[in-house]
Chains A and B, each alone.
Chain A
Amino acid sequence: MASNLRVLFVDDEEELVSAVTERLELRGVTAVGCLSGREALERLARESFDVVVLDVKMPGLGGLDVVRMINQRHPGLKVVLLTGHSSLEDAQAGVELGAVAYLQKPVDLDALLAILRSSVGEG
């Protein structure tokens, strides 16, 4: 099913970013990957996306800091957080900062897709 959805997927695990963006593309989503919070912010400054999917725990600029900066620089941009078991509190804090949802890894791609579509009002 084709979609106009543009998603920025951010995680420091390169192979995970590669696999997930490929899977999203097969589902008709335009998916771009970044390997760090800083790289994501640089990308967001140049291109527009509907949703950012963001790992909470990353080296350097962490997920929560990226959420804060997105709130300042790109108000209205939807953020979905991904978290491991040890970062649940951070994920909950991210929702309080304005992220629309968090999902625990391993990612259920269908659940992620449903959240992505509903966050932009797609059916």
Chain B
Amino acid sequence: MARWVLDSREGLGFFGRIVAGTTHELVNILNIVGELAGLQDDLVHAAAEGQPLDPARLASLAARTRTQAERGHTLLRHLNRFAHSADAERQLYDVGELLESFASLTERFARLSRVSLACHPPHRTVVLEGNPFAVHLALFLCLDAALASASSQRAVSLQAEPEEGGVLLVVEGADPVAPAATEALTGRLAQVLPACPAQLASLPGANDRFRVCLRLVSGPPAGTEEKEADCAS
């Protein structure tokens, strides 16, 4: 069941969207670094023709370039963490780090929908055993549905609240979602959540604003406990 998540069209498609979106952002960053280097060249050329070099302007250029480099590093770090989430169907993962990476990698999708994305990691470190790739996918399905229902200039928030044995993930938007969209989301989540493992804790009602709660727990994918017990005996 867990292997299905990565091998499925849904899983592969999701992987592709994240990589495509993130690499697009990285290209943008490199384009900016190129332009800043070009601007540096222009200033040197102007200085050679007698125009005074402004040290403050050069310092500002260096700071701007450094900002883009840090932006690129951060994005690559998150993409790397996301890629490793597919290493094994069952591995330890830090929920706060996962949420932070997820928010970073999906910020572009929110921005293109003109929606701001707010991320609220758990107030303490929570490490669970499960399938972090499946968790990413479950979150993405919720985010996708939230963005589809969100009006322009609105906000969607992701938050994680530690609870006994796991974490409650909440994806919340300001706008209502159509019942048909909620039903479609439920169907897609039903195939992914067992792999996390997680349960659907709540869904928005008709005309309610978007709010989906997923209860993440620690352990093997749902449905494998009996098999493991049989093997052990």
Is A114 an interface residue, CB under 8 A from the partner?
no
Is A22 an interface residue, CB under 8 A from the partner?
yes
In this complex, the interface size class of chain B, counting residues with CB under 8 Å from chain A, is 20 to 34
Partner of B114, one of A19, A59, A107: A59
CB contacts (< 8 Å) of B32 on chain A: these are 13, 15-16, 19
CB contacts (< 8 Å) of B68 on chain A: these are 15
CB contacts (< 8 Å) of B24 on chain A: these are 84, 86
Is B76 an interface residue, CB under 8 A from the partner?
no
CB contacts (< 8 Å) of B20 on chain A: these are 86
Is A105 an interface residue, CB under 8 A from the partner?
yes
Is B223 an interface residue, CB under 8 A from the partner?
no
Q: Number of contacts between A and B (CB, 8 Å)?
A: 50
Given A13-B28, A60-B152: A19 and B35 within 8 A (CB)? yes
Contact bitstring A13-29, B, C-beta under 8 A = 1, else 0? 10110111011001100
B1-33 contacts to A, CB under 8 A, are: 20, 24, 27-28, 30-32
Is A69 an interface residue, CB under 8 A from the partner?
no
Is A97 an interface residue, CB under 8 A from the partner?
no
Q: Is there an interface contact between B35 and A26, defined as CB atoms closer than 8 Å?
A: no
Is B100 an interface residue, CB under 8 A from the partner?
no
A23 to B152, CA, bound (A): 33
